[in-house]
A and B are shown apart, each in its own frame.
Chain A
């Protein structure tokens, strides 16, 4: 085997090194969190002095953290369902319906992405105060849903954009009405986009801080808010343990959705 010329090998090496660098850059914070969570000392220390489960035990034993974790999960699940239903339907209407001003509507649907979430939170907070509804759970879910919808709209629009509408016509031609066409053809084929949006919605809600900051009621807080409040007084490995649990949960959601409903696309056609 003849070896490739030096310049080519050098080029490949640089390319590989660059990619490794990017991956390390992306994963380093996660690695630090893991080290922080497993290190037994009650402050951030490098190099770590050992491995212990004490922070995890503390996290899982804490009633405040557990309540917050379950509440966060509840809000995230409700947000995911609401944002997915609304976002996927909106994307379909924008892509298919001959809506007047569909470009403007798309821009409005995506605007929460451009607006600082803290402003959205503040606006919702003031609206709730004006309406005198207090700080109900549905209010929090609504806030999370508003900032999650753009993700679902985007990912669903992306698959709808590449969708061959003749497939829907073929279904109609074969006797399927509008609803059946949607469930037999459109939804199965756009599912990867819808599900990718759902995953984003879950993670956006589960990690949501600025919106929740305004909308949670004291004593009934989501995990990021509880962590923030904890951080104000303590900085120990419990924070790391909570972060690890959050990361693992997020990964489980992605893997779970992939296994059950599938995120793969039928890209071959």
Chain B
């Protein structure tokens, strides 16, 4: 039975001063793939460890399925966990590793054997029961760790950067399999990662964390297209950030960055004074210089980074360096370094950020 997790005003401090996790609120829904994303030291792993029961919050409460578990010890929480580097028991066979949780629950041996076989079948490791973890490849160990966590039919599956140690190809196929398994079993999953592509690809929702605080919680497209803060815009994907003063001319609202650059805003920012905005590179359209409609700038291509499916340009314009990305689908002219270009975008692609 999957369960929802409610984290309310949770703070963790180790020395009474520095807050590893600072007043975090999260409502993780039942059956949801929820990622904690952020740079190292942002508090994501500490948050996960508090959910698992390895750390106790200094303040606040954690509830699972409506019941407060803040002070319930880890071994009574009924959660599966896949550790970074897997933490398989090296002195036990694969079968014993997977069956460990069932044995702790006092299940009889025949039942354990059957469930272990089923769990290994689910991760496509049938027949590996008698091997030692040390005899398996990284990807296989990963699957054993996953089987060990799901065989106990946990209410919540916690993952601490489980794919970090795998090479890129394997990581992508494991992302896919993990997501499928999560959906098939209807598991509530909390997934810690510092890899934004992984979080965007797999999650139903993402909590972006920085310096112990939650910056934004939202679906991958919300996080990417409508970043709420300067940190989120900068951390997720490539972006062009601008900072200036809001001025109103006639009916339109304009962000005056400096004397060379003013950016029209589609919406009225709630605040007055200095403001940051973001513009994704792929929202910029590049054309040969000439008449350009709407918002735009003229610039010189500094470098063109061919990426196969797209081209990423660094462009010198209005005294600053901008990133622009164009799909390589035949409908866009490709430019070489040194070429003069015009940059255009629509005001609605400008995202207003909180600092």
Which residues of A pack against B, CB within 8 Å?
164, 166-167, 169-177, 180-181, 184-185, 188-189, 266, 268-269
Contacts and interface: CB of A to CB of B under 8 A. Distances in A.
A216 B81 CA distance: 56
Interface stretch (B83-91, B307-315, B328-336): B83-91
Given A180-B104, A266-B134, A269-B134, A173 B81 contact: yes
Nearest to A188: B91
Given A167-B89, A189-B90, A174 B148 contact: yes
Contact of B80 (A173, A176, A181, A189): A173
Interface of B: 52-54, 73-81, 83-85, 87-91, 100-101, 104-105, 133-134, 148, 152
Given A169-B54, A269-B134, A174 B91 contact: no
Dominant SS among interface residues on chain A = helix
A220 B198 CA distance: 73
14 contacts: A164-B87, A167-B87, A169-B54, A170-B81, A170-B89, A171-B100, A173-B74, A173-B77, A173-B79, A175-B75, A175-B105, A188-B91, A269-B133, A269-B134
Given A169-B83, A268-B134, A269-B133, A176 B104 contact: yes
A172 B100 CA distance: 11
B90 A268 contact: yes
Contacts of A170: 81, 83, 87-89, 148
A174 B85 CA distance: 17
B131 to A, nearest CB: 12
A167, A174, A189 interface centre (most CB from chain B within 10 Å): A174
A31 B91 CA distance: 39
A188 to B, nearest CB: 5
A52 B315 CA distance: 96
Contacts of A268: 90, 134
A176 B75 contact: yes
A36 B307 CA distance: 81
A172 B74 contact: yes
A167, A175, A180, A188 interface centre (most CB from chain B within 10 Å): A175
A223 B112 CA distance: 54
Given A173-B74, A268-B134, A166 B87 contact: yes
B83 A166 contact: yes
What are the 5 tightest A-B residue pairs by CB atom distance, in nearest-first order?
Answer: A174-B101, A175-B104, A269-B90, A268-B134, A166-B87
B56 to A, nearest CB: 13
Given A166-B84, A188-B91, A266-B90, 9 more contacts: A166-B87, A169-B52, A171-B89, A173-B74, A174-B152, A175-B78, A175-B101, A175-B105, A266-B134
Contacts of A269: 88, 90, 133-134
A189 B77 CA distance: 25
A185 B89 CA distance: 7
B13 to A, nearest CB: 15
A180 B77 CA distance: 16
Contacts of A184: 100
B20 to A, nearest CB: 16
A169 B81 CA distance: 10
B75 to A, nearest CB: 5
Contacts of B79: 173
Contacts of A167: 87, 89-90
A181 B104 CA distance: 10
